[in-house]
Amino acid sequence: MWTAATRGRMAEIEKKTKRYPTDLTDEEWAR
């Protein structure tokens, strides 16, 4: 489920990694 917190976290990760927001890391999948 996409919550506001998830979008905020993914936005930061996307800026850092410059990857697609759907390309989650193992750490993100674990959450």
1-31 residue pLDDT tens:
567 777 788 788 777 776 655 666 666 666 6
Q: Which has the closest alpha carbon to 3: 23, 18, 17, 11?
A: 11
Name the H helices within 1-31: 4-17, 26-30
Question: Measured between alpha carbons, how far is 2 from 15 in angstroms, rounded to an integer?
Answer: 18
Q: What is the pLDDT of residue 18?
A: 67
Q: What is the pLDDT of residue 1?
A: 59
Amino acid type, 2: W
First to last CA, the chain: 11
Q: What is the pLDDT of residue 5?
A: 78
Instruction: Say which DSSP state 23 is in.
Output: S
